[in-house]
Amino acid sequence: MNKKIIIANWKTYINSRKQAENIFKSLENNNYKNLELIICPPFPYLLKAKSYKLKAKIGAQNVFYEQSGAYTGEVSPKMLKDIGVEYVIIGHSERRALGETDEIINKKIKAALANNLKIILCVGEPLVIRKHGFKATQKFIENQLQKNLNGISNAKNKLLKILIAYEPVWAIGTGISDTPEDSLEIIKFFLNSKFLIHNSMVLYGGSVNSKNITGFLKYPEIDGVLIGEASTNKEEFQKILKISSKINH
Ligand code: PGA
């Protein structure tokens, strides 16, 4: 049976070394054998994560699509790989909102794969689309997947290195999650989509917390969750891990 994947996306909520170290420390004693934990701190704390005995993989929240050169302020896939980062979040709706296009996302995925990073690709519809129903939602996401995965074939199992996080934009950071039933409906569509292959992992993200996580993880089709704000509260995150580890999967 697959381990459920729990991704902690700290965003810019954690903004001091002390806070970051506190959470790293709290994660040192975790040993949930049926969970795959991926912690995504902001860039300045990535290296620090490596000095803790975390039973977790480390992910970055963003990456640039060139390896090196005159690109002030950018962080290349090569640099991430060099410091032991394994995963990178690409296409988060908060980055799309800042102007990241499907084409840029596609370039980033290709560059990250070329450096053997694993990808957490975020896709999801805004509220206006969801209001038009499942069909419109599926079409919207299909279009995102088509553009974001353009030119990426499964040669060398490349698609298996891409986790898809289904994150309805209206559910992120709002405290209003999708219902597990509705998100399952969309996720089932992913699993049948021509863009994915057998064994692709699909996660849910958007206002997940200790109270609602069981509803999502109980479904075998939902391989895990991407958690933002709730993952930055030490006690709440410990609760989430404990609950997740007890779900039969
Ligand atoms: P949230 O963020 O859990 O704070 O809604 C989810 C995300 O990072 O996508």
How far is residue 98 CA from its own chain's centroid?
18
Name the one residue in this structure whose structure tokens are 């290709």. Answer: 110
Instruction: Quote the pLDDT of residue 119.
Output: 97
- The closest residue, in CA terms, to atom 3 on ligand 1 is 228
Check if 91 has its Cβ closer than 6 Å to any atom of ligand 1. no
Please state the separation of Cα 75 from the chain's center in Å.
18
Mutating to test ligand 1, I would choose from 95, 125, 208 the residue with most ligand atoms within 8 A of its C-beta, which is 208
Residue nearest to atom 8 of ligand 1 (CA): 228
Which atom of ligand 1 is nearest the CA belonging to 231? 3
Centroid of ligand 1 to alpha carbon of 69 (angstroms): 32
Instruction: Give the model confidence (pLDDT) of 190-243 as tens digits.
Output: 777 766 666 788 999 999 999 999 999 999 999 999 999 999 999 999 999 999
| pLDDT of 178 over the 80 cut | yes
Q: State the distance from the centre of ligand 1 to the C-alpha of 230, rounded, in angstroms.
A: 8
pLDDT tens by residue, 90-140: 999 999 999 999 999 999 999 999 999 999 999 999 999 999 999 999 999
DSSP class of residue 73? T
Q: Ligand 1, atom 7: nearest CA belongs to which residue? A: 228
CA dist., res. 231 & res. 209, Å (int): 8
Q: How far is the CA of 120 from the centre of ligand 1 (A)?
A: 13
How many A from CA of 204 to the centre of ligand 1? Answer: 10
- How far does CA 224 lie from the centroid of its chain? 9
State which ligand 1 atom lies nearest to the alpha carbon of 206.
Answer: 5
- 15-66 confidence digits (pLDDT tens): 999 999 999 999 998 889 999 999 999 999 999 999 999 999 999 999 999 9
Confidence of residue 249 (pLDDT cuts 50, 70, 90): low
Ligand 1 atom with least separation from CA of 93: 9
Considering the chain, what is the average pLDDT of its residues? Answer: 94
Tell me, letter by letter, the H, E, C secondary structure of 178-202. Answer: CCHHHHHHHHHHHHHCCCCCCCCCE
pTM of the model: 0.96
Report the catalytic residues.
92, 167
